Structure 1
Amino acid sequence: MKKVITGKDIVRQLRADLIGKDSYRGVTLTYTWLANQFGHFSLGFIPTFVGFLILKKYVTEEQAALYAAGAVSLFWLAFETFNFLGPLLSRKSRSAYVFQPAWGNIAFDTITDLIYFWSGALMASILCAYTTMALVMLLILTVMVLYPAYYWYLTKMYLQTPSYPFQFRLSQWSTEHIPDQQIALIRRFLDNRDQGMHLFLFGPKRSGKTSLSVGIATELSIRHHTAVYTSAMKLYCMFFEHDDDTAADVLWTWRKASILVIDDINPGSPIKNDLITPEQFLSFVDTFSTNDINRTVLRQTNVIWVLGDDDVSRKLSERWQDMLLSIGVEKEKLLSLNLQLYSQPAPKAEYDLHMQS
């Protein structure tokens, strides 16, 4: 049974983020999100307080508090609107993407930020000079922020558990002249609602196969799919582990994940020889002597296989697909993409901040 994050898991993570010192334990994505929202709140609170001190010399304190909060709120509304609509309305910016950003997801993130900006401004207004209007508006925003706070904190948990090597959205992946049918193939994997879909990514060093695999898996994590990122060498050891061997702070094992990214199975060019063949990989799968649980999990999990060059003379793609067919994977669920002919990808930066927020 595939794992999902429960309310108990959220409470445990929240306790870990709020209690203790990050100087010795590291910083999680959930902790970073909490700190980021506190920063948004402060960017509404502090300017409002400063504005109140200036305006109260010219108007009543109640008016000064409301005017300052209103001006700060309008400023952040204009700023975030420009920040969001600029790239969205720019034809040049939109045409540069191989995969369009998830605009709805980014819009939701923008609205969440604005609620925290406005809440900070209204809180400062109430503390400077109480007004019923400011209190009512703050209570409304407090109710409005409950679901976004839950959604984003939960999403960060889905993003941090897989242990991706870097933060990377699919829209940041870029290459030249990739055929439309290859883009459609990746979208087919992304939008697949069944389990057991397998995507092979072939390519030499610096072809972008790892970035592409992380980008695909990240989008699925944002959709609240449980994912695990691992290298092939680590996975070989995991084949021998029981699920109850997992540390308590790990939410799910590779067997409980719905998305598995297996990176560095083979290095690819300039190293010509394959370090691991499909036959050798299957032998590791079968060394778990209790039963065929490893075969069953691989058959029922969506897997991204990051391999080296697809050597046509050795029929590597065909051999890896034959290995999966031998354990019961359906042929129509096998997808293969060769990045060898495409140029090196270059990340885009327009929406990097939304990945962090």
Structure 2
Amino acid sequence: MLMKKTITRGNMFRQLKADLGGKDSYRGVTLTYTWLANQFGHFSLGFIPAFITYLLLKPHMEETRAALNAAWIISAIWLVFETINFLGPLTFGKKGGMKSYVFQPAWGNVAFDTITDLLFFWLGAFFCSLLCAPTLLAEEIVMITGLLILYPSYYWYLTKMYLQTPGYPFQFRLSQWNTEQIDSSDIELVRRFLDNNSMGMHLFLFGPKSSGKTSLSVAIATELSIRHYSAVYTSAMKLYCMFFEQDDDTNAGVLWTWRKASILVIDDINPGDPIKEDLITPDRFLSFVDGSSSHDINRTALKDTNVIWVLGNDDEDRKLSAKWQEMLYSIGVEKEKMLSLNLQRFAPKPAKAGYGLQLQS
């Protein structure tokens, strides 16, 4: 998959400057700010327990030995904790273990995150040791750990920028999507969209309310954002207005527009059950695309972008999948680049009403 727009080091510097200055009480927090605060917390959770342990050990042994022992003890505790935290919830802590996942977690990515946390824990613990009773060993460990932490810090800060820019409505990874009845062919279809090496792939998600369309679309796009692909999440209503907007790269707060993104998620095109009527037809959607002076640019952007279309119900009588594919074919999308997944058969059945039982929306 080719990337249309990437985040530069200049973009990262401006984001870091914004995260370090100002007050979050009135501007809110970003994912990048949260990551920075989280890692400072990990450093502190290495430093503070090591200092307390040093104070407990100091009356019983030499200061330098107490400082080093405190750092080793706290580092070992966090190693055991993070190992359990990594393996427990993802494997033994989940009913059915690894086999219960519809989509397996990105184990390498999760392991890398765990290692990053450990480096910050260890850096805090041995930095405390260095301050309490300087030793050559503590100094070497601090220097090595500090160097090892540089790339993970760069990677994760950049990744958080890719995750916050699309404007996803919630944070959700593909391994968290758990509809047990999904067919293996549909799982392979999602993987095909994720792993394709070209632009212009289109995935249609059909289904009623509560079938998991939006969650699945966000999860797929999130995995691609973590791979550092530029993405945009939007509702259909917002996109109709965006068809009439001009791209403006002069705004430092906008890293890319929908036309320059690699991934586009169009949510809420049609609501699906319990609303039977399709509010937007393929022809009507195309009329919005062509309604502005930028209609040629809009068509090209839609054709050449990897798009996830979140639609309403589909069945054999309505044949909506075929109609939407025909619309895309009319603007130049190749039919082998159109994928369709119907989640209607996986939607949860409503509970029966009874005394003390309230139906969930």
Range class of TM-score, shorter chain: over 0.9
Alignment match, 1:351: none
CA distance in 1 between counterparts of 2:201 and 2:258 reads: 15
Q: 2:174 matched to 1:200?
A: no
CA distance in 1 between counterparts of 2:122 and 2:236 reads: 47
2:327 aligns with one of 323, 328, 342? 323
- Partner SS for 2:239: helix
Using the size of structure 1 for normalisation, the TM-score is 0.94
* More off after superposition, 5-14 vs 93-102: 93-102
CA distance in 1 between counterparts of 2:333 and 2:194 reads: 18
* More off after superposition, 238-247 vs 311-320: 238-247
2:289–2:295 contact (8 Å) kept in structure 1: no
RMSD (Å) for aligned C-alpha atoms:
1.4
Displacement, 1:287? 1.2
CA distance in 2 between counterparts of 1:344 and 1:311 reads: 17
Alignment match, 1:165: 169
Letter aligned with residue 277 of structure 1: T
- Partner SS for 2:59: coil
Q: 2:316 matched to 1:297?
A: no
Alignment match, 2:60: 58
Q: 2:71 matched to 1:82?
A: no
Alignment match, 2:352: none
Using the size of structure 2 for normalisation, the TM-score is 0.93
CA distance in 1 between counterparts of 2:258 and 2:145 reads: 39
CA distance in 2 between counterparts of 1:308 and 1:247 reads: 35
Letter aligned with residue 5 of structure 1: I
Alignment match, 1:106: 110
**Deviation per residue, 1:141-193 (Å, 9 max, x gap):** 00000000000000000000000000000000011221110000000000011
Change (3 A) 1:246 1:182: farther
Alignment match, 1:309: 313
2:230–2:263 contact (8 Å) kept in structure 1: yes
**Deviation per residue, 1:87-121 (Å, 9 max, x gap):** 45538221111001000000000000000000000
Letter aligned with residue 78 of structure 1: V
**Deviation per residue, 1:194-238 (Å, 9 max, x gap):** 000000000000000000000000000000000000000000000
- Partner SS for 1:201: strand
1:246–1:253 contact (8 Å) kept in structure 2: no
Alignment match, 2:14: 12
- Partner SS for 1:229: strand
- Partner SS for 2:203: strand
Alignment match, 2:229: 225
2:98–2:104 contact (8 Å) kept in structure 1: yes
Gaps of 5+ in 1: 346-357
Alignment match, 1:145: 149
Displacement, 1:278? 0.2
Alignment match, 1:353: none
Alignment match, 2:259: 255
Gaps of 5+ in 2: 350-361
Paired positions, count:
345
Displacement, 1:30? 0.1
1:10–1:154 contact (8 Å) kept in structure 2: yes
Alignment match, 2:336: 332
Q: 2:280 matched to 1:276?
A: yes
Displacement, 1:290? 4.1
